[in-house]
């Protein structure tokens, strides 16, 4: 199997895993506040990542790689989880997940600025069409809007796009699972103490579903999903494979409807179809 095909398949597994992040975060917020949820999920994943790196005897990254890992951690370990956690206090997960459709073009831009990639103009055309459709639906067609919530989501997308591009660039030399593990480990000296400082006085009123939500975002959203995602970006190209994120909002719609009983409209389904066509076009011309 060609590396590019492996990259797209691995990326698809990562995207499918990430699609459950926002619904799971909203469920977890029923028992935890956004700040504690952010530091707790990073701490849980960070401890597991440290254990994996130790047991598998992975070499430490060098000084130049540490700076890239810090940027990756700032985007995907801190920025995106924290900003989306607060955004979900203002809007539903179905509304928030639409903004994820802006991640492909944001990631591609960082891939050009930081990774030196140069996609063709047809690629940018398909990417832009997909982004405009998704953004247009988020602002005009979803029937829900919040200046604060939408602003937080836009900031989260920028942070995540930077983190994806930085981590994927480093994964070419360090390895996909190693990058997310080291990103979590370098953030652990800050996240673990904050978890202990923000530790709630009681967990008596935390529901089982909230604990399950915390478990999902800690293990799958924060760790296992990135193993596949960074591998996919490294093998298939950051700008190209990032277009799979156009599909992610609509997988998230299904999960939001199933887990949270949030509504799905016919318009969502039509936008899904067009987004899939945009992904296919971007893959063709990447």
| List of long-range contacts for 59-64, beta carbons under 8 Å, 24+ apart | 61/174, 61/182
d(CA 100, CA 131): 9
- pLDDT at position 210 is 94
Tell me which residue of 97, 83, 234, 101 sits closest to 164, measured CA to CA: 234
**Would you give the DSSP letter of residue 58?**
P
Question: What is the model's pLDDT at position 193?
Answer: 97
Convert the chain into a string of H (helix), E (strand) and C (coil).
CCHHHHHHHHHHHHHHHHCCHHHHHHHHCCCCCHHHHHHHHHHHHHHHHHHHHHHCCCCCCCHHHHHHHHHHHHHHHHHHHHHHHHHCCCCCHHHHHHHHHHHHHHHHHHHHHHHCCCCCHHHHHHHHHHHHHHHHHHHHHCCCCCHHHHHHHHHHHHHHHHHHHHHHHHHHHHCHHHHHHHHHHHHHHHHHHHHHHCCCCCCCCCCHHHHHHHHHHHHHHHHHHHHHHHHHHHHHCHHHHHHHHHCHHHHHHHHHHHHHCCCCCHHHHHHHHHHHHHHHHHHHHC
pLDDT reported for residue 145: 62
pLDDT of residue 187: 96
Which parts of the chain sit beneath pLDDT 50? none
| CA 126 – CA 274 distance, rounded (Å) | 10
pLDDT of residue 263: 65
């Amino acid at each position: 199997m060609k590396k590019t095909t492996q990259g797209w398949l691995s990326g698809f597994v990562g995207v499918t895993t990430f699609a459950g992040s926002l619904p799971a975060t909203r469920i977890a917020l029923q028992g935890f506040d956004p700040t504690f949820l952010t530091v707790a999920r990073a701490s849980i994943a960070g401890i597991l990542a440290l254990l994996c790196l130790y047991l598998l005897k992975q070499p430490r990254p060098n000084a130049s790689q540490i700076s890239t890992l810090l940027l990756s951690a700032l985007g995907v370990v801190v920025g995106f989880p924290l900003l989306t956690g607060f955004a979900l206090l203002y809007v539903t997960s179905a509304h928030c997940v639409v903004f994820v459709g802006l991640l492909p073009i944001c990631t591609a831009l960082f891939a050009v600025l930081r990774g030196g990639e140069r996609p063709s103009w047809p690629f940018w055309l398909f990417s832009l069409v997909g982004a405009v459709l998704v953004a247009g639906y988020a602002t005009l067609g979803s029937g829900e809007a919040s200046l604060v919530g939408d602003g937080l989501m836009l900031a989260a997308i920028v942070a995540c796009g930077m983190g994806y591009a930085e981590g994927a660039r480093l994964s070419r030399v360090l390895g996909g699972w190693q990058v997310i593990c080291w990103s979590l480990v370098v953030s652990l000296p800050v996240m673990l103490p904050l978890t202990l400082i923000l530790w709630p006085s009681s967990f008596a009123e935390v529901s089982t579903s909230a604990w399950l939500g915390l478990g999902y975002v800690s293990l799958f959203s924060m760790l296992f999903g990135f193993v596949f995602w960074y591998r996919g970006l490294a093998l298939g190209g950051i700008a190209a494979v990032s277009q799979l994120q156009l599909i992610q909002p609509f997988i998230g719609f299904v999960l939001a409807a199933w887990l949270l009983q949030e509504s799905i409209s016919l318009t969502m389904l039509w936008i899904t179809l067009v987004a899939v066509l945009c992904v296919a076009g971007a893959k063709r011309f990447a």
